[in-house]
């Protein structure tokens, strides 16, 4: 008999800073960044069935199912279970409810993939450890492992070697400029600074940090530069990941709400609080 629906969050992340410290032989870049999660994101509902079929019910993303990172995560996890000799996997329909904008630097697709791996692993009897799930996640995208890790961290390598930290957890106003940015194109941009001086998990808060993509993005997209200048009137403001979202940092939710009144009409924005344990991990350990 099919078990009950499992509902899990797929939260957003912010990169509180992001430096590039070198280029690797495989074309990827070594980063230094701090990941923090938000109490805001997508939701996945896993509806188990008795007929052994798998479906993705996604009314909100407009991404063809076979391209969706949820579906790709499902296929990769099935392969991993098969190679462990577990072939009888209970079927389910995965319902994806998207709130996060795409191509935003909030890691929405990566978080959906991570929640899929964690959720299905739980429904299939937990044959894989979180370390094994992270290794599968890396094959789907550099940002997937941190969502499985689920703790705020100083990250190195391609963003997959973690030192846990507890940065302050302020309120953020996140605003999405109406531009679409390719992460791969930005990483290969000739003007990108790729030689930032290394910082450490202990000293980054006392150093001058930045987001290496910000000057390039502001140069390519004047509307992002303009929005950044406007938001800087109210609070410290920075790009997250490769953009396009900007986040402004406030001590209180009220202050974030007041600044939100000034977001240019037509741009989407939301307010969320920084989380040092991701909402996914909080739900799993409840």
Ligand X SMILES: Nc1ncnc2c1ncn2[C@@H]1O[C@H](COP(=O)(O)OP(=O)(O)O)[C@@H](O)[C@H]1O
Ligand Y SMILES: C[C@@](CO)(OP(=O)(O)O)[C@H](O)COP(=O)(O)OP(=O)(O)OC[C@H]1O[C@@H](n2ccc(N)nc2=O)[C@H](O)[C@@H]1O
Rounded to a whole number of angstroms, the distance between the first and last alpha carbons of the chain is 25
Answer yes or no: is 119 a known binding residue: no
- Give the phi and the psi of residue 84 in degrees, each rounded to 5: -90, 0
**Residue 28 within binding range of ligand Y, rule CB under 6 A:** yes
Q: Say how far apart CA 156 and CA 242 lie, in whole Å.
A: 16
Q: Say how far apart CA 119 and CA 130 lie, in whole Å.
A: 11
Catalytic-role residue among 58, 112, 143, 160 = 143
Which of 21/179 has CB closer to ligand X? Answer: 179
Distances (CA, A) of 87 to 119, 127, 182, 186: 18, 12, 38, 41
**Residue 159 within binding range of ligand X, rule CB under 6 A:** no
Distances (CA, A) of 248 to 99, 123, 218: 19, 38, 16
- Is residue 99 part of the annotated active site? The answer reads no
CB 111 within 8 A of CB 42: yes
CA angle centred on 155, ends 26 and 100, rounded to 5°: 90
Q: How far is the CB of 271 from ligand Y (least distance, A)?
A: 20
The contact pattern for ligand Y, residues 126-165, with x = CB under 6 A and - = no contact, is ---------------xxx--------------xx------
Q: How far is the CB of 38 from ligand X (least distance, A)?
A: 12
**Residue 56 within binding range of ligand X, rule CB under 6 A:** no
**Residue 174 within binding range of ligand X, rule CB under 6 A:** no
Answer yes or no: is 261 a known binding residue: no
Q: How far is the CB of 40 from ligand Y (least distance, A)?
A: 15
- Is residue 45 part of the annotated active site? The answer reads no
Q: Say how far apart CA 269 and CA 172 lie, in whole Å.
A: 10
**Residue 211 within binding range of ligand X, rule CB under 6 A:** no
Residues that bind ligand X (CB under 6 A): 61, 63, 67-70, 102-110, 112, 143, 183, 241
- Which residues are known binding-site members for ATP? 101-111
Q: Which residues are catalytic?
A: 13, 143
């Amino acid at each position: 008999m099919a078990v009950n629906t499992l509902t899990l969050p797929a939260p957003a992340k912010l990169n509180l800073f992001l430096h590039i410290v070198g280029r690797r032989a495989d074309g990827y870049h070594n980063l230094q960044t701090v990941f923090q999660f938000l109490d805001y994101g997508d939701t996945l509902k896993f509806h188990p069935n008795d007929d052994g079929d798998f479906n993705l019910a996604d009314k909100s993303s407009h991404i063809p199912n076979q391209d969706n990172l949820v579906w790709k995560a499902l296929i990769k996890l099935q392969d991993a279970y098969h190679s462990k000799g577990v072939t009888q996997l209970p079927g389910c329909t995965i319902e994806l409810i998207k709130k996060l904008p795409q191509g935003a630097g909030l890691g929405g697709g990566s978080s959906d993939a991570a929640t899929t791996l964690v959720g299905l692993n739980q429904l299939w009897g937990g044959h894989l450890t979180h370390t094994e799930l992270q290794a599968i996640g890396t094959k789907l995208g550099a940002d997937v492992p941190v969502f499985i890790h689920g703790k705020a961290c100083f990250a190195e390598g391609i963003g997959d070697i973690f030192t846990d930290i507890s940065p302050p957890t302020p309120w953020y106003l996140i605003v999405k400029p109406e531009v679409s940015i390719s992460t791969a194109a930005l990483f290969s941009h000739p003007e990108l600074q790729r030689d930032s001086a290394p910082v450490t998990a202990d000293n980054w808060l006392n150093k001058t940090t930045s987001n290496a993509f910000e000057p390039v993005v502001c140069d390519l997209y004047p509307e992002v530069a303009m929005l950044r200048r406007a938001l800087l009137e109210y609070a410290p403001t920075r790009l997250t990941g490769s953009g396009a979202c900007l986040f402004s940092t406030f001590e209180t939710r009220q202050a974030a709400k007041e600044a939100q009144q000034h977001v240019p009409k037509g741009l989407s924005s939301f307010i969320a609080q920084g989380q040092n344990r991701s909402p996914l991990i909080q739900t799993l350990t409840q």
